[in-house]
Amino acid sequence: MLAENMRQEWLLWLGSERRAAALTLETYGRDLAGFLGFLTRHLGGEPDLAALGQLTGADFRAWLAEEASESRGNATRAKKLSAVRSFLRYVEREKGIANAAIGLVATPRAKKPLPRALTVVDAQTVAREIAEISDNAAIQARDTALFTLLYGCGLRISEALGLNRSDAPLPGSDAPLRVTGKGGKTRIVPVLAIARDMTQRWLRLHWQAEPDAPLFLGARGKRLDPAIAQKALRDFRRLNGLPEHATPHALRHSFATHLLAQGADLRAIQELLGHASLSTTQRYTAVDTAQLMATWRRAHPRA
């Protein structure tokens, strides 16, 4: 039996038994047809089921290499490999022809997207002007303090909202902020004077005096919900024409990117962000390089 005939049978099975969507069937069918087309060229003839069972790891890697040469990214190649694996499992189940080599082929790993930072001007605009979206003085002070702290200390939104009143960084002190991050790991972060000032302004309007009260309160007196902070910035960015990636987490990316651009040591940035691995922090070097190249292309007369 030719592999192409088996492909058609597999697609019918996916549609009738698995209730696969029409778009899924189209994509799987196209991906598998491409694989079988490669095998026809690679093996010197249209493959049958016996040929599928005899394919080696080198055959699969040759196919993936050809896909890469045609500018297929890792995510795309991983998706196509998944379709081939699913098809070969069907062949084994229905026809008893197994291919052990496919299980040894490594799935191409999709590259993590680069962190998307704001420009220095946009990040500062958020911290300085976020208050304009509310008419309530307490909400204005709270949001200004929160977003100044996010950008000034590189905090995750969950870390900032997890702070209590007793943790508040205040003027007249140079004590760093003790932050509890992922996995309960604690780190020490220095605090800018402006962040201390904005925190003090907010505490003057804070309506709970207990030391263990949440530093950032919602309207009902409970710990502020991250969704409320995200909505505040979403509304602000749309009113002010900021990019759609202007989110609370983008302020953390901006903190790291702007420090790196000013010559900060990568290991120091790792400590400030609380990254367990330096490789995570190293992604910011790619961001900085990308921004440098973009500036060069805009400014250089021969770029």
In the residue annotation, 90 being an active-site residue is answered as: no
3-state SS, 194-230, equals: HHHHHHHHHHHHCCCCCCCCECCECCCCCECCHHHHH
CB 3 within 8 A of CB 52: yes
Task: Write out the two tokens for 25.
Answer: 């069937």
Q: Locate 291 and state its tokens.
A: 């921004």
| Angle at CA of residue 160, ends 194 and 234, nearest 5° | 85
Angle, CA of 31, 32 and 36, to the nearest 5°: 125
Alpha helices per DSSP H over the chain: 3-16, 22-43, 49-54, 57-69, 74-95, 120-129, 137-153, 157-161, 193-205, 226-240, 248-261, 266-273, 278-281, 283-299
Q: Is residue 156 annotated as part of the catalytic site, yes or no?
A: yes
Buried/exposed code over 179-207 (b: 16+ C-beta within 10 A; e: otherwise): bebeeeeebebebeebbbbbbbbbbeebe
Q: Give me the phi and psi of 178, to 5 degrees please.
A: -95, 115
- Catalytic option among 182, 222, 238, 267: 182
Q: How far apart (Å, rounded) are the C-alpha atoms in residues 32 and 94?
A: 17
Among 72, 85, 249, 283, the one annotated catalytic: 249
Determine whether 182 is an active site residue. Answer: yes
Which residue out of 80, 196, 258, 275 is catalytically annotated?
275
Candidate list 142, 156, 237, 253, residue with the active-site label: 156
Q: Is 61 a catalytic residue?
A: no
Q: Which one from 142, 252, 253, 258 is the annotated catalytic residue?
A: 252
- Residue 286 vs residues 6, 155, 298: alpha-carbon distances, Å: 45, 21, 18
Q: How far apart (Å, rounded) are the C-alpha atoms in residues 85 and 199?
A: 55
The catalytic residue positions are 156, 182, 249, 252, 275, 284
